[in-house]
Structure 1
């Protein structure tokens, strides 16, 4: 067993293994592989948290939050809705867009969206959060930021996902995605009772992942990580400045400590996460997600049914 306390190797695995692997790949053609290496190996916990926060931000847009509240899925069956979202989004990254399971997952996502009157600008905004929020999270709290290769790969991966979801006017660069997200939030963030109910339900679900006595601290910690525009739009009180500074400092310290650990060689899959609980005996992709709810208006704008899924 090899151990270099002041070097780059622990147990024979370079700490920068996945950065080296990704740097040898082409982000224009190997973007799916690069993105998967980042999500499943290099930053599994960070990417899961960042993507969860990305979805959480969308509740602060009244059109999105109100619709999610109207379906009742995020308030009446939040655990399953959370699990289904994570499981469906993982399949294309894990297997590639041409894989039959990935096509089935994207088809299921598109079927869900087609059931409701969702404007294209909301779809594009949600897509932009998947690109921008993880990059900013890793800048602030990760053991390292995305490399240029990894950032381009992330952009190209979500551009491909957006094309499979028939989303128009997808930006070509990270800067373009960043403009979409920031401009959209400045214009559309606002308080909505439905969005607040969905946010409350999601936070309540998250508290069940920790010991009960830790609940108040976890809830306070979560609010401390929100930016003020997000808190204002959801109607959440800001914690004290001291709590906010301490909470963010703890996450930054975690990132720095992780630099001393060897590269993770085992893949972290969504189904293996302890807080994904809905399918202990497995699942069928075709049965994941939501189905039309009586009383909630269907979508009159039909997307291109012949587009690849």
Structure 2
């Protein structure tokens, strides 16, 4: 096969995406992008998206008080990944997808937080992966993928009863940047959640590598996050080396043939808590008696079509 043929083959999923409608076919486009084009990158980017929310003290403090991310960190990681994964894999209308959204809404129903925080959390899912992939992925996201991702999360947000959802990617990005500038800040309890999350990620690898892996992780964080959590900034050389290594991985992936089988989060080796399988309906947390507050609040917004 000629070199030119190899190049065409590498971009066959992108060509398929470009033949679809970025709004009407948003779930299919997003599924292709996540499970076929960038499965590793989306895993890392969505981890970072959720991690960013801890730097908003109202969110980080609440998560600390539930103890889910400090005492049951692996389970919380698994459940969050698997619930979002079920919607991605099966869609909004299929039984598995609806069950996942129902569980998310059942968890959130017990807690209160501002509408602004709800929209901010949603914005991280839209903006952070685009920024990560454009920096470290084997190619940049196409315009079709950006529009489809935006529409996908607008749909998810409506099913979760989130009001006043941004309409475009640019609006999501402006929301995220302005909200972080206004609300990122130090909180001791939020720092405990951050430390537990970093410890979990380090625990996936051999123990002797722990100090190195912590430095690697911190080198991938931006200054506002490091400042909010009072983490020391890694040296310029270490930061440049780590980021260059992740960038180089993307260049190497570009040389590989396109993925033939979709890879979903349930197949990630980082998911540790369900060696014998799981039921979507059993995933997630149960309310903590006497505690109210959550990154996304359930509301009685019938116009938003939440899944009950």
User: Which TM-score applies when normalising by structure 2?
Assistant: 0.95
CA offset digits 1:47-81 (Å, max 9, x no partner): 00000000000000000000000000000000000
Q: 1:127 aligns with which of 110, 122, 128?
A: 122
CA contact (8 A) 1:131 1:177 kept: yes
Separation (CA, whole Å) in 2 of partners of 1:117 and 1:37:
34
CA contact (8 A) 2:162 2:299 kept: no
CA contact (8 A) 2:83 2:101 kept: yes
The aligned residue for residue 304 of structure 1 is 300
Q: CA RMSD in A?
A: 1.5
User: Which TM-score applies when normalising by structure 1?
Assistant: 0.95
Q: 1:76 aligns with which of 71, 87, 102?
A: 71
Gaps of 5+ in 1: none
Q: 1:189 aligns with which of 176, 179, 184?
A: 184
**Is 2:32 the partner of 1:9?**
no
CA offset digits 1:242-294 (Å, max 9, x no partner): 11111111111111111111001111121211110111111111111111112
Q: Between Structure 1 and Structure 2, how many residues are aligned?
A: 303
The aligned residue for residue 201 of structure 2 is 206
The aligned residue for residue 222 of structure 2 is 227
Separation (CA, whole Å) in 2 of partners of 1:216 and 1:20:
42
Separation (CA, whole Å) in 1 of partners of 2:12 and 2:191:
42
CA offset digits 1:120-170 (Å, max 9, x no partner): 111110100000000000111000111000100000000000000111111
Separation (CA, whole Å) in 1 of partners of 2:95 and 2:113:
26
The alpha carbon displacement at 1:9 in A equals 2.1
The alpha carbon displacement at 1:304 in A equals 2.1
Separation (CA, whole Å) in 2 of partners of 1:84 and 1:275:
12
CA contact (8 A) 1:114 1:298 kept: no
Gaps of 5+ in 2: none
SS of match in other structure, 2:34: helix
